[in-house]
A and B are shown apart, each in its own frame.
Chain A
Amino acid sequence: KAGVTQTPRYLIKTRGQQVTLSCSPISGHRSVSWYQQTPGQGLQFLFEYFSETQRNKGNFPGRFSGRQFSNSRSEMNVSTLELGDSALYLCASSLHSAGADTQYFGPGTRLTVL
């Protein structure tokens, strides 16, 4: 079974730009979650999508948004980028629930904001 894939793997943007990251979950998994990983803060939960609906949202500003498609693939968008948005963005999929099931993580997208 193929694992979670994320594209692109690396991105360099400048302040004020916007970016879209993509995640393809493991086949059959309906829950997709996004995390921001930084050395100082560890993994911070951004949001979870299930059946094309945002089920939960972490404590991030509205510049961070996402969506999920009918095939469970998910995208995350960050608008008006700030220097502090530089991080590794991880996507994780699980069968039904990020909190109750094992999460399978992708390799991440490394975003650098200049």
Chain B
Amino acid sequence: AQSVSQHNHHVILSEAASLELGCNYSYGGTVNLFWYVQYPGQHLQLLLKYFSGDPLVKGIKGFEAEFIKSKFSFNLRKPSVQWSDTAEYFCAVNAGGSYIPTFGRGTSLIVHP
């Protein structure tokens, strides 16, 4: 069965700091990869996704993620965070044509102004 690991459960940063959230999965074949974000009091929403092509994917609000197949990773990055980026971030993986996406346990990000 596929699994997804988000190693950072809680991250606290100051504004303008750089961000990298880790996501690793356990499946050797074709994968669809997603990052979702849940802002306080709001719905879970898509930040970015990778299906194929350029492994560097750009999403909304200046976020990007890089798919590194050899490392089974899909880390989320942002060069300079803002207070409004305070949220919970979830990595999700769908592997091998499965209809069931597997979510990581989430990373809570707090950005201090």
Contacts and interface: CB of A to CB of B under 8 A. Distances in A.
Interface string A72-114: 0000000000000000001010000111101111111000000
A61 interface: no
A42 B104 contact: yes
Interface of A: 3-4, 35, 41-45, 48, 55-56, 58, 90, 92, 97-100, 102-108
A92 B99 CA distance: 13
Interface string B13-47: 00000000000000000001010100000011110
Nearest to B98: A99
A106 B38 CA distance: 11
A42 B93 CA distance: 14
A41 B43 contact: no
B100 A100 contact: no
Contacts of A42: 90, 103-106
Interface residues of B, number: 22
Given A100-B94, A102-B49, A43 B103 contact: yes
Given A42-B90, A43-B90, A103 B103 contact: no
26 contacts: A4-B43, A35-B103, A42-B103, A42-B105, A43-B90, A43-B103, A45-B102, A48-B99, A55-B99, A56-B100, A92-B44, A97-B99, A98-B94, A99-B98, A99-B100, A99-B101, A100-B32, A100-B51, A102-B34, A102-B46, A103-B46, A103-B101, A104-B45, A105-B36, A105-B43, A105-B44
A74 B43 CA distance: 18
Contacts of B105: 41-42
B99 A3 contact: no
A48 B102 CA distance: 13
Contacts of A102: 34, 46, 49
Nearest to A42: B105
A44 B103 CA distance: 7
Interface in B34-74: 34, 36, 43-46, 49, 51
Contacts of B104: 42
Contact of B32 (A35, A55, A99, A105): A99
